[in-house]
Amino acid sequence: MEKTAGTILIIDDDRDVLETARMFLKQQFERVIIDPDPTKLPAILEEESIDVILLDMNFKKGVNDGEEGFYWLSEILKIDDKAIVILITAYGEVDLAVKAIKMGATDFVLKPWKNQKLLGTILSALQLRKSKLEVGKLKDTQQKLNEGISKQFSDFVGESPLIQRVYELMEKVADTDANVLILGENGTGKELVARGLHNKSSRKDNPFISVDLGAISETLFESELFGHVKGAFTDAKENRVGSFELASGGTIFLDEIGNLSLPLQAKLLTVLQNRTVKRVGSNKDINIDIRLICATNMPLYDMVEEGKFRQDLLYRINTVEIQLPPLRDRVDDIPLLTEHFLNIYAKKYQKDGLQIGKEVMAKLKKYKWQGNVRELQHAVERAIILSEGKKITSSDFFLKPAASGKKAIEATTLEEMEKVFILQSLEENQGNVTKTAQVLGLTRTALYRRLNKYGI
Per residue in 93-125, pLDDT (tens digit) is 777 778 888 888 888 888 888 899 899 999 998
**In the chain, what's the furthest Cα-to-Cα distance?**
94
> Is the pLDDT assigned to residue 52 strictly greater than 70?
yes
> Is the pLDDT assigned to residue 145 strictly greater than 80?
no
Average pLDDT over every residue of 130-158: 60
Band (237; pLDDT cuts 50, 70, 90): confident
Q: What is the 3-state secondary structure (H, E, C) of 347-365?
A: HHCCCCCCEECHHHHHHHH
> Is the pLDDT assigned to residue 403 strictly greater than 50?
no
Q: Is the peptide bond before 161 cis (omega within 30 degrees of 0)?
A: no
Q: What's the confidence (pLDDT) of residue 414?
A: 66
Average pLDDT over every residue of 336-350: 91
Please check whether residue 257 is in contact with residue 214, taking contact to mean a CB–CB distance below 8 angstroms: no
Q: Does the CA dihedral 251-257-260-264 come out positive or negative?
A: positive
> Is the pLDDT assigned to residue 9 strictly greater than 90?
yes
Please check whether residue 213 is in contact with residue 259, taking contact to mean a CB–CB distance below 8 angstroms: yes
Lowest mean pLDDT among 68-72, 151-155, 325-329: 151-155
Identify which has the larger pLDDT, 401 or 426. Answer: 426
Band (62; pLDDT cuts 50, 70, 90): low
Band (404; pLDDT cuts 50, 70, 90): very low
Average pLDDT over every residue of 219-228: 91
Band (141; pLDDT cuts 50, 70, 90): low
Band (47; pLDDT cuts 50, 70, 90): confident
Lowest mean pLDDT among 69-83, 139-153, 166-180, 251-265: 139-153
Does the domain made of 4-133 have the CATH classification 3.40.50.2300?
A: yes
Q: What's the confidence (pLDDT) of residue 402?
A: 52
> Is the pLDDT assigned to residue 426 strictly greater than 60?
yes
Between β-strands 227-228 and 240-241, what pairing exists: parallel, antiparallel or unpaired? Answer: antiparallel
Q: What's the confidence (pLDDT) of residue 255?
A: 95
3-state secondary structure of 114: coil
Name the helix (H) or strand (E) containing 428. Answer: helix 414-428
Task: For the chain, report the end-to-end CA distance as a whole number of angstroms.
Answer: 62
Q: φ, ψ for residue 219 (rounded to 5)?
A: -70, -25
Percent of the residues in the chain that have a pLDDT greater than 90, as a whole number: 49
Does the domain made of 400-456 have the CATH classification 2.60.40.790?
A: no
Q: What's the confidence (pLDDT) of residue 405?
A: 44
Q: φ, ψ for residue 277 (rounded to 5)?
A: -130, 155
What are 287-321's pLDDT values in tens digits? 999 999 999 999 999 999 999 999 999 999 999 99
DSSP 402: P
Q: What's the confidence (pLDDT) of residue 41?
A: 92
Any idea what the Cα angle at residue 382 is, between residues 144 and 368, rounded to 5°?
95
Name the helix (H) or strand (E) containing 287. Answer: strand 286-287
Q: Give the HSE-up count for residue 425: Cα atoms under 13 Å, Cβ half-sphere.
A: 19
Any idea what the Cα angle at residue 241 is, between residues 239 and 247, rounded to 5°?
170
Topology agreement, domain 4-133 and domain 151-323: yes
DSSP 192: H
> Is the pLDDT assigned to residue 338 strictly greater than 70?
yes
* Reduced DSSP (H G I as helix, E B as strand, rest coil) percent helix, strand, coil of the chain, to 5: 50, 15, 35
CATH of span 326-399: 1.10.8.60
What are 270-292's pLDDT values in tens digits? 999 999 999 999 988 999 999 99
* Domain map (residue ranges) of the chain: 4-133, 151-323, 326-399, 400-456
CA separation for the pair 436, 433 (Å, rounded) = 5
Between β-strands 251-255 and 291-296, what pairing exists: parallel, antiparallel or unpaired? Answer: parallel
Average pLDDT over every residue of 414-427: 78
Instruction: Indicate the angle between helix axes 15-25 and 115-149, nearest 10 degrees.
Output: 70
Average pLDDT over every residue of 4-32: 91
Band (143; pLDDT cuts 50, 70, 90): low
Average pLDDT over every residue of 393-407: 64
Q: What is the DSSP string of 68-83?
A: HHHHHHHHHHHH-TT-
CA separation for the pair 35, 40 (Å, rounded) = 8
CATH topology of domain 151-323: Rossmann fold (3.40.50)
Q: What's the confidence (pLDDT) of residue 73?
A: 92
Band (412; pLDDT cuts 50, 70, 90): low
Closest-CA residue to 221 (of 175, 190, 187, 262)? 262
State CA 278 to chain mean position distance.
15
Which neighbouring-strand residues pair with 33? 9
Mean pLDDT (the chain) is: 86
Band (218; pLDDT cuts 50, 70, 90): confident
